[in-house]
Structure formats: structure tokens, C-alpha cells
Amino acid sequence: MAPKQGEAMASLDTNGEVHSADVLILGAGLAGYIVANRVKELNPELSVLLVEKSTAGWSGSKANKGAGVMWVMEEKDDVGKFREYYSAHHGHGLEDQELLEKVCGTTMEMVAHLERWGVNVAREADGSLARSGLLPLWALCAFDLDILMKLRKVALKYGVKAVDKTQVVDLLTQGNRVVGAVGFDITNGAFRTFKAKAVVNATGSCCWMVANMWSSARGDGIAAAWRAGARMRIAEFSNFYNLGLRGNQAAMVGSQYALYNADNEWIAKKYCPDFETDVDLGIILGMEKEVRDGKGPISFEETELFYKNPLAVGDFLFRWNRPQAKKFWLRLWEGEGKYTSDRSWRPEVIPMFIGECSPVMTDHEMRSSLEGMWALGDTSRSGAGWAGAVPPPSRIRGSGITWAAVSSLLAEKSLAEYAASASEPEIDADQVARLKEGIYAPMAREKGLDVRESTFRLQEVISPPRYSARKSAGRIQESLARVAEVAAECDQVTPGGDWHVLGLCHDLKNMAQCAEIYFTSALARTESRGWHYREDFPKRDDATWRKWVDVELKDGKVVVSATPLPVERFKTPAVVDPWFYETMYEAIK
Amino acid sequence: MHVITIDHDLCNSCKRCYKACFNDVIVWEEEFPQVRYPQECATCNWCELSCPDGAVKVIPHNPVRIPEPYPRSFYPLSYVAG
């Protein structure tokens, strides 16, 4: 008898539990829940199983611990003008304009589904969507931070199952087809095998555990897909920085127009255009330039936070009635105010590395290069191609939430149809046994390196601006060499018999592989474009590089290629912003 | 390291703090939540906010350890020592 969905059954000679489903979803964040609910609505006969490293409904890297905002294009917003603006100032000519338009055209559908499922989306008294009034071409709308709870309630009603506290480590394959995954319970070490006709990879981005609030984004699904042979696209844009307080990493969103150097000079005049909608690479490179010139530290004049800041925080967060968000942010700020190390009038601000490596390549229906695997949300944010030469959130706050939802909606039809018609997968017991051995290998080491220290060594070659903002071939090669050293340490770290720490050991391996993908792609792009600045190639080169850098693992070797953009199908020609590529580049030399 | 405290005299074992923690800082043992891995705490405060009985407190310990962006070894004119 075939195992029922969500029920454990020892059917393989691996002593573990085997869970089967038509659709297996790795990661129960926003994308995971939305696609789960939509698949059930499209075809209630399909069994859907979520696997989550923490607890389904409380996880995800953005939905319950972010600002609770989403990017929306309403009917009154001019998509054509937005596309032109986005291409010139965000995507820098590297965006897939066809998919960008598709994303824009799906955001209102997203709002409709969320509200239908009971999510508190902020609306004005007249019923219109409440939107921040300071952004020129798109809407920034708000929802409350209990969004996952609302989606979970719907999922439970639909019969979606979830397995919690399970760290998925590797994908199971049948030829080029993904047919499941294996992992272990981080609380007791139990081995689990998951078998499915279709697999959704929605574990999120890799932020290398540098910034506190993004510390659950460790690239699990990206690295598993990499090892299984999935193609990765434009991973060189895995270098998102915000501005943050040195002491506690509190993000000072939109503070670039309120920064001063040690000589009390207002530095935005050199590194920021007259107006920008969100932080750009210029201020990150500019802050570093000031320090190189002996004019650090950079301090933040709090009274000027609202100056030229369309993301003005007070209004941005609290204009709407959102009880959960209010509770979350007031408590967070109370803690920051009470315990931060620097509460001087002008606290020091540093580039706060977040990363957001999200390179799993997909088509416009979120199918990865591996048959049977879809990649959603932050797993494929760069890899889908629409964002272009900018790391998430693409200088559009709230677009992480939107992409999680929209990518789910773009995937739902092909996913449900595939799962309904695909043949029953065959699980290779030898593959399971081999992967199981790899999962538990660190537990055999009685003595070894401290995995948290190895993780810090990895962070040291990713997060400083000299590696991820001001790149050069020499420093990228230095990073790759040091990443390889850390990767070698993966065979030396010991969990000390602790399952949680075993999880950290696999996180280290995954984060090292994401770093290799990132720096390999960065080395290949021998030009400067958007958030990829190469000191040794300080020109944008449209003739050579209107291409996506692709990397994949073939026979154990990293293979790099470049795919030309289908520009003949695009409506907007590439525009080179003279301020960015001339004025700013001159200032940060 | 951040400090998370749980007053087991106030705790009603509802598991909300345990479920709310997305970094596995709080584990479940002997019918109570236990703070086992504060190294991974993101100081999101959801464990504290989720507790209906005020049993959980999160005290951030700052400054947090991050790679130095401007070490003098790479930036000779840096204001940062080291």
C-alpha cells in the first residue's frame, strides 16, 4: 500500500521515516504557504506537504519579522514608465523586461488572494489600498505580521500537511528529475526521506548569518539545488548592504541623506543623486571612500532621517492599523534603545551586509533547470532574471514579500498540472543511503573545529565592503581561496553530539557553496554594472555584457557561461544613467 | 551573547515561545521551554511577545560580533584599530 501523505513509513532500507506527497514544498515561509494553498485550490486531490526547519507558520525570513510592506502595481500605476525607470536605475539593463511586466501584472492578484485568505492588508476609509505617498511610480502597501498564521489556517483547512523541525540537506534525483529530499530532525536527529512527484524549493536566500534579522536565511535549498546540478543565474548580485548602527546592526533604512564624515561634511552630496527611492551602492562605496581618506567614522544625524527619505520610518510603519507589526517594532526599538552600545547624538553607521544570494535560475513559470523542481521567492529572486543588476530587494522595499507571493502565483498552474500527470517517482535507495551517510558524517568526529568560528571566517571574506562592494579580480580570487579553506573546514567541524550544531555544520557547507557561486559569478563579470562594481573594470560594457552569468556544477566542476538577454523582445532600450556611471564613479575612486 | 530568560514559575507550557523561535534557540525539554542556543538568537523578541504570561525576556547583548568593515590592516587611515 502506498504511504499516505505525512505518515511515516519505513519502506526503504535506511531506518528512517518516508513521507510521500504529490507536491513537496521545502520551506514553510510565505512562498511555501501561498503555493500550497493555491495548489489545493486548483486541484484538491493533490496531496501537499511542507517541510520546515523551524515551525510552519512561524518561519520565513521576511513575513513575520520584516516591516510588513509589499510592492504593488495598481491599475492606475503606469507599468511602462515604471519599466523605463526600473531599467535605468535598478536593473541597469540586465532585467528580464518580459518577466518584470508579468510580475507587475500579478501584484493585484496577490492582494486579492491574501485578502480572501483573511490577511489584514491596509486600506483607506474609502476602500482603496493604503499606499505610501512618496514613491513615484509604484505603491508600497502594508499588511500585518500575522500573515503566516492566516495562511496556515487556510492551509490546515485545505488539508496541507507540515513536518516541522526538519533540516532538508539534499535533493533526491531520478536522472535529471528531482523526486524528493532527505534531511534530519534538528531536535532528535531522526532521518527523514521525502518522496514527491513535484518539488518546490522555497527555503529562501543566503545571507550568511551576518545580519541578525536575516540569520535564518542560510541557503539550504540553493546549495542543495547546486549539488543536484541546478543552474544558477547572476549570483554576482548577492551583495545587498543596508546602512546599520555599528553596535547592534539596527537597520537605518533610508538614512543615506543624513550621514556625515569626521569633518562634519554631509556626504550624500558626493555619493547620492538628488533623489533616490532607496539605498544604492553609491553611498556604500562612498562611506568606504571616506574611511580610506581618513575621514571616518561616518555618523548618522537622527534629526535628518526624514530628509529626502521616501521610506520615512514613522509614517512607513505606523500609519496603518497593524497590531502585530506595532507590537513587534515597538519592542524591537525598545531593546535597541536600551541596550545598543552607541546612543550618542550621532551614532556611527556602517555598511550593514545582508547579502540575499538568490540565484536559482527559473523560467517564467518558476521551473528550475531540473525537471520537477520549481524555485520560489528568495530562492530564485536573482535567478529568475527580472530584477537585473541589483540584489534583493531591488531597491524596492516590500518586493521580497511580493516576489514570494507572485512567484507562487506564476508557478501554480504548471506545478499543479505537472504533479497531477507526472509518473510515480522512483527513489534510489543507494542514493538515500549515501546522502544519509553524508548527513551524519560530522557526528562521528569527537574532536574538531568550532563550526561557529568557521562560519565567522566565512563571513569575514563576504561582508566587508572591500570584498562585496568594491570588487577586483585580486580580492575576488582571495575570497574564493579563503572560501575554499572554509569549505575544507566542513570536514573538520564537529557538532559535539548535538543535533542543532549538526545543522550548523550543514549550514556552513551550504553557505560556503553559496559564497563560491557568488564569487565565481562576480569574477566572470568583467565590467561594472548596478551593484556589481569592479575596480579593475570600472566601465559598463553593454556590447559584451548584456548577458546573464550562469554557473552550474557538472561532474564536480564549476562551469561558467554567459546567456545573452532576449533584448529583441524588450520594449525599453538600455539606458546608461550618467550620474551613476560618471559622477558617482568619479567620486568613489 | 544575547540573554534570554524563561521564568518556569510563570510558564504554562503552551509552547508558543518554542514555536516562535525560527533559529532553534529555545528547545522543548521535560514539558518546558529551555534556552539552549542563545548564540543563534536574532533578538527578534517573538518568543517574548508570544508569551501570554510574561515568562520570557530577551536582553540583547551589544555590540554584536561582526567582521570589521574597516580594519587598519586594509585601511591605513582608518579610525578603527586592528
Query: In the 3-class helix/strand/coil scheme, how is A378-430 assigned residue by residue?
Result: HHCCCCCCCCCCCCCCCCCCCHHHHHHHHHHHHHHHHHHHHHHHCCCCCCCHH
The verdict on a CB contact (< 8 Å) between B22 and A463 is: no
ipTM, 2 dp:
0.97
The C-alpha cell that represents A262 in the structure block: 569626521
Least confident window among A296-305, A504-513, B2-11: A296-305
Dist CA A332 CA A201 (whole Å): 31
The verdict on a CB contact (< 8 Å) between A165 and B58 is: no
Q: What would the pLDDT profile of A60-102 be if each residue is shown by its tens digit?
A: 766 677 778 899 999 999 999 999 999 999 999 999 999 999 9
φ, ψ of residue A5 to 5 degrees: the values are -55, 135
What is the average per-residue pLDDT within A403-408?
98
Tell me the DSSP string of A458-470: HHHTTSSHHHHTE
Dist CA A316 CA A319 (whole Å): 7
Tell me how many residue pairs between chain A and chain B have CB atoms under 8 A apart. Answer: 119
Dist CA A96 CA A108 (whole Å): 20
Q: What would the pLDDT profile of A298-316 be if each residue is shown by its tens digit?
A: 999 988 887 777 776 556 5
Angle in degrees, 0-180, between the axes of helices A499-524 and A451-460, rounded to the nearest 10: 20
Contacts of A296 in chain B (CB under 8 A): 70, 78-80
Alpha-carbon A499 to chain mean position: 26
The minimal CB distance from A340 to the residues B27, B45, B62 is found for B62
Dist CA B14 CA A300 (whole Å): 42
What is the average per-residue pLDDT within A412-416?
98
Contacts of A215 in chain B (CB under 8 A): 23, 40, 42
Interface test with B, best of A149, A242, A292, A458 (most B CBs within 10 A): A292
Contacts of A212 in chain B (CB under 8 A): 42-44, 64
Which residues in A107-123 are b (16+ Cβ under 10 Å) and which e? bbebbebbeebebbbbb
- Among chain B residues, the shortest Cα distance to A463 is held by B67
What is the average per-residue pLDDT within A98-116?
98
> Which CATH number belongs to the domain containing residue B37 in this structure?
3.30.70.20
What is the average per-residue pLDDT within A156-182?
98
Q: Residue A4's pLDDT band (boundaries 50, 70, 90)?
A: very low
Q: Angle CA(B69)–CA(A453)–CA(B67) in degrees, nearest 5?
A: 5
Could you tell me which CATH class the domain A441-579 is placed in? mainly alpha
Tell me the DSSP string of A245-286: ETTT--B-TT-GGGEE-TT--BTHHHHS-S--SS--HHHHHH
Which residue segment(s) compose the domain that B34 sits in? Answer: 1-82
Pick from A219, A233, A173, A168: which is nearest to A25 by CA? Answer: A168
What is the average per-residue pLDDT within B17-46?
95
Domain A241-354 maps to which CATH number in 3.40.50, 1.10.405, 3.90.700, 3.30.2450?
A: 3.90.700
For residue A357, the 8-state DSSP code is B
Within 10 angstroms of residue A174's Cβ, the number of other Cβ atoms is 16
- Among chain B residues, the shortest Cα distance to A245 is held by B63
Q: Residue A322's pLDDT band (boundaries 50, 70, 90)?
A: confident
pTM of the model: 0.96
For residue B7, the 8-state DSSP code is -
Q: What is the pLDDT of residue A42?
A: 98
Which residues in A142-162 are b (16+ Cβ under 10 Å) and which e? bbbbbbbbbbbebbeeeebbb
Give A97 to chain B, closest Cα distance, Å.
Answer: 35
Q: What is the pLDDT of residue A66?
A: 77
The pLDDT > 70 percentage for chain A reads: 95
The minimal CB distance from A460 to the residues B40, B59, B67 is found for B67
Q: Residue A9's pLDDT band (boundaries 50, 70, 90)?
A: very low
Least confident window among A145-149, A369-373, A479-483, A515-519: A145-149
Q: What is the pLDDT of residue A428?
A: 94
- Among chain B residues, the shortest Cα distance to A337 is held by B60
The verdict on a CB contact (< 8 Å) between A335 and B58 is: yes
Number of independent structural domains in chain B: 1
Dist CA A56 CA A50 (whole Å): 8
Q: What is the pLDDT of residue B62?
A: 78
Give B13 to chain A, closest Cα distance, Å.
Answer: 16
The verdict on a CB contact (< 8 Å) between B79 and A297 is: yes
**Contact call for residues A291 and B79 (beta carbons, < 8 A):** yes
The minimal CB distance from A213 to the residues B18, B20, B44 is found for B44
What is the average per-residue pLDDT within B40-57?
95
Contacts of A288 in chain B (CB under 8 A): 69-70
The minimal CB distance from A339 to the residues B22, B39, B60 is found for B60
Interface test with B, best of A293, A339, A483 (most B CBs within 10 A): A339
Give B21 to chain A, closest Cα distance, Å.
Answer: 7
Give A329 to chain B, closest Cα distance, Å.
Answer: 9
Mean pLDDT of chain A: 93
Give the sign of the dihedral formed by CA A62, CA A457, CA A184, CA A369.
Answer: positive
Residue A267 pLDDT > 80: yes
Within 10 angstroms of residue A351's Cβ, the number of other Cβ atoms is 24
Interface test with A, best of B27, B37, B40 (most A CBs within 10 A): B40
Q: Where are the domains of chain A?
A: 241-354, 441-579
Interface test with B, best of A149, A208, A209, A215 (most B CBs within 10 A): A215
What is the average per-residue pLDDT within B20-43?
95
A107 conformational bin, left if phi > 0, alpha if psi -120 to 50, beta if neither: alpha
3-state secondary structure of B27: strand
Dist CA A48 CA A198 (whole Å): 10
The verdict on a CB contact (< 8 Å) between B67 and A465 is: no
The minimal CB distance from B75 to the residues A291, A335, A504 is found for A291
